[in-house]
Amino acid sequence: MPKGKTTPSDSNHPGRDSLQWNDEMDQMLLNALGEEANKGNRHDGAWTTQAYNNMVEALRSTIGPNITKNHIKNRMKTLKNHFAEAYDLFHSLSGFSWNSITRKFDAEDDVWEELIKGKPHAARWRKMQIKHYDILTELFATDRAKGNVAKTAKERRKQWEKENIDLNNYFEDTEMYVPNVGMFDENQFSPPNFEDASPQNGQTNPSGLNTSRGTKRKRNVVELVEDQYERMNESIMTIAEALKEGNSVSKELHQVAERQVEVAERQVAVIEKQVEIAEKQVTVIQQTRPRHYSESDVWDLLEELRVTDPFRMKVYNHLCDNEHKKRKLFGVPPHMRGEALIQMMTDAGIFC
């Protein structure tokens, strides 16, 4: 057996969901619960399926390989019930404090006597221990602060068992308890006790026979229904986790698409810049490259300058035969080309 592993006691083999817990095992369970709470595997007081899987794996490595989810749930219910009684009694009282050494609530004698005078059932807490109260407070105090919603299934069943429902009064005087289903966790949802809703509350047992066997059978039915509700709640939590994971994937895809759009926009900007540079380069090339002027360009220019017929042909032939003078004339601004042509032709002896 590995060193440090706690061996669960299963003497007399009471059943596969039964386990005798000790103080060390409780500490390991509470540590696992705290770790899962810190991971965010608890929503509105309900532990997720992933939380239970993680706890089973952790406790199997420290307590023993036979630990199951039901062991954890049953022990957690027991710890919560014990804590709930102490918390509901002491958390709002002044003068009391939990002693981590003695694991009891400490107070002055007169404070105890005043409490016991108003609540006689509190007397037993003067000597009774409650272990790990500090850790239990961190884990479950918020649930208790929610009032009736924080009640466990066992507590709520006890409440219903105290209610006397008479099926012959047409429910006119019956106070109906309507729970807020949306705020229940998987350890809190419980249907009413079928025994109280049975006809035996409306009429007596004529034979006077012992009905303990029937009562036990009805309680087993209640426990079965509770288990079904817990399974349904776990399925809902699984679906919620899947939806949450799907939303996360959708968000990641949306972020990827946004990054792709940003990259595409940057690429478009680069292409536009390259086009702008290319257009400037074409302009520079066009400006620096010598232009070729055709004979028709020369003739159109002479008509534009209204050179008369006796001289038009001579000027045309002179410019077409002299490429340098032709480019020189076209290089002059349009409004000065007439004056430049007269000077050029006068120098050539065409205009006298």
CA pair distance 50, 32, nearest whole angstrom: 12
pLDDT digits (tens, 9 = 90+) for 54-70: 999 999 999 888 999 99
Mean pLDDT of 124-138: 90
Residues of the chain with pLDDT > 90, as a percent, come to 25
- Structure tokens, 107: 């107070």
CA pair distance 272, 279, nearest whole angstrom: 11
Residue-averaged pLDDT of the chain: 76
* Helical axes 23-38 vs 49-62, angle rounded to 10°: 140
pLDDT of 44 strictly over 50: yes
pLDDT of 29 strictly over 90: yes
Which residues, in sequence order, are CB contacts of 220 under 8 Å at separation 6+? none
Task: Out of 90-104, 112-126, 280-294, pick the least confident.
Answer: 280-294
pLDDT of 219 strictly over 70: no
pLDDT of 125 strictly over 60: yes
252 confidence band (pLDDT: 50, 70, 90): confident
CA pair distance 214, 265, nearest whole angstrom: 76
- Structure tokens, 159: 């409440």
pLDDT digits (tens, 9 = 90+) for 309-329: 778 888 888 888 888 888 888
pLDDT score recorded for residue 205: 46
CA pair distance 184, 226, nearest whole angstrom: 13
CA dihedral 157, 160, 161, 162 (to 10 degrees): 130
Between 145 and 249, whose confidence is greater? 249
pLDDT score recorded for residue 242: 78
Residue pointed to by tokens 């608890």? 42
pLDDT score recorded for residue 293: 82
Residue pointed to by tokens 């500490």? 27
pLDDT score recorded for residue 220: 65
CA dihedral 130, 131, 134, 137 (to 10 degrees): -60
* pTM of this structure: 0.42
Q: Residue 34: beta bridge partners?
A: none
pLDDT score recorded for residue 289: 67
pLDDT score recorded for residue 164: 45
pLDDT of 116 strictly over 60: yes
Task: Out of 6-10, 25-29, 129-133, pick the least confident.
Answer: 6-10
CA pair distance 33, 54, nearest whole angstrom: 10
CA pair distance 201, 169, nearest whole angstrom: 11
* Counts of helices then strands in the chain (DSSP H, E): 11, 4
pLDDT score recorded for residue 154: 52
Task: Out of 70-79, 201-210, 241-250, pick the least confident.
Answer: 201-210
Residue 241 host element (H or E) = helix 212-288
Which residues, in sequence order, are CB contacts of 184 under 8 Å at separation 6+? 46, 149, 233
pLDDT score recorded for residue 19: 83
Task: Out of 177-186, 281-290, 335-344, pick the least confident.
Answer: 177-186
Between 143 and 100, whose confidence is greater? 100
pLDDT score recorded for residue 313: 86
pLDDT score recorded for residue 186: 45
